[in-house]
């Protein structure tokens, strides 16, 4: 918040009371990016991502259906 106040010239009271949190977060990320900082974790290289698909390492995570969710839904349907 202090960095945002210094960079924008706004008072900390204005930032805390009047500035919507989502907008303050956007300004904060903009300040970090301007300073050369990254505000997200970059994805692994495409080659590694494709290798994970080829290996089938995350078949359950990639599945459209979750067996546990399907079983819970079936139990719910049987209770009706």
pLDDT in tens, 1-52: 788 888 889 999 999 999 999 999 899 888 888 888 877 777 888 888 788 7
Res 59: pLDDT? 52
Q: What is the pTM of this model?
A: 0.46
Distances in Å between the Cα of 9 and the Cα atoms of 4, 24, 58, 66, 76 are 8, 13, 49, 51, 57
String of DSSP letters for the chain: -HHHHHHH---HHHHHHTS-HHHHHHHHHHHHHHTT--SSPPPPPHHHHHHHHHHTTTHHHH-SS-HHHHHHHHHHHHH-
Res 70: pLDDT? 79
Mean pLDDT within 46-63: 67
How many Cα atoms are found within 13 Å in the side-chain-facing hemisphere of 28?
Answer: 13
């Amino acid at each position: 918040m202090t960095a945002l106040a210094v960079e924008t010239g706004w008072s900390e009271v204005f930032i805390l009371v009047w500035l919507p949190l989502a907008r303050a977060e956007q300004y904060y990320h903009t300040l970090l990016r301007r300073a050369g900082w990254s505000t997200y974790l970059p994805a692994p290289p495409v080659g590694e991502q494709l290798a994970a698909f080829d290996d089938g390492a995350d078949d359950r995570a990639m599945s459209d259906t979750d067996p546990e969710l399907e079983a819970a839904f079936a139990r719910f349907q049987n209770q009706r």
